[in-house]
């Protein structure tokens, strides 16, 4: 059994993970073998996403100390794994969905993103979310599209005008 000091170290680690993350996913890993858990953990690690298993009571204690996580408390039951991500908020859902399709485990319980709860019914919606880089790329593409259309239009018009001027000049010389 962990001492009070050891538990407090875990609570501090949890608080740090929660504060550093933009999204928290919770999955139930019951029925998974050690090899399956390690494989899933490896998939998350490849994407620089933290996958950790903590005691639910310690998670709730850390959340109590930080405040604002009350909607998550109902999901703190059973064999829960916690997934913390900073950047691509939909990436954990993509990994969970793909892994579930292959192994039928773990079960997605919920995600807590920017103060909102996304229940188990929303996994497909979360998995289809674009990353911040993809959204920024789309916005830049939309912003540059009119500019490139104008430039190409001006270039086309310029070449037509230049051609017409050359034709008139040629006629006058002859």
Q: What is the DSSP letter of 130?
A: P
* Cα–Cα dist 170/89, whole Å: 64
Q: With a cut of 70, say whether residue 126 has pLDDT above it.
A: yes
Please state whether 132 falls in left (phi above 0), alpha (psi between -120 and 50) or beta: alpha
Q: Indicate whether 19 pLDDT > 90.
A: yes
Q: Tokens 């933290």 appear where? A: 50
For the chain, what is the mean pLDDT?
A: 82
Residue 149: the pLDDT is 59
Tens digit of each residue's pLDDT (9 = 90 or more) over 143-173: 766 655 555 655 555 455 555 556 666 666 6
Kindly report, residue by residue over 44-89, the tens digit of the pLDDT.
999 999 999 999 999 999 999 998 999 999 999 999 999 999 888 8
All residues at 6 or more sequence positions from 17 whose CB lies less than 8 Å from its CB, including other chains: 50, 52, 82, 84
């Amino acid at each position: 059994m962990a001492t009070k000091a050891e538990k407090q170290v875990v609570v501090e680690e949890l608080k740090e993970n929660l504060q550093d993350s933009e999204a928290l996913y919770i999955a139930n890993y019951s029925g998974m073998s050690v090899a399956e858990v390690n494989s899933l953990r490896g998939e998350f690690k490849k994407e620089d996403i933290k996958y950790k298993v903590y005691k639910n009571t310690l998670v709730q204690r850390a959340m109590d100390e930080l405040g604002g996580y009350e909607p998550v408390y109902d999901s703190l039951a059973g064999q829960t794994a916690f997934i913390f991500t900073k950047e691509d908020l939909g990436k954990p859902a993509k990994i969970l969905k793909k892994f579930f399709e292959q192994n039928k485990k773990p079960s997605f319980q919920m995600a807590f993103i920017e103060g909102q709860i996304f229940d188990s019914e929303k996994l497909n919606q979360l998995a289809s979310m674009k990353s911040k880089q993809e959204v920024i790329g789309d916005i830049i593409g939309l912003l540059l599209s009119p500019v490139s259309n104008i430039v190409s239009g001006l270039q086309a018009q310029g070449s037509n005008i230049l051609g017409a001027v050359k034709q008139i000049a040629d006629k006058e010389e002859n």
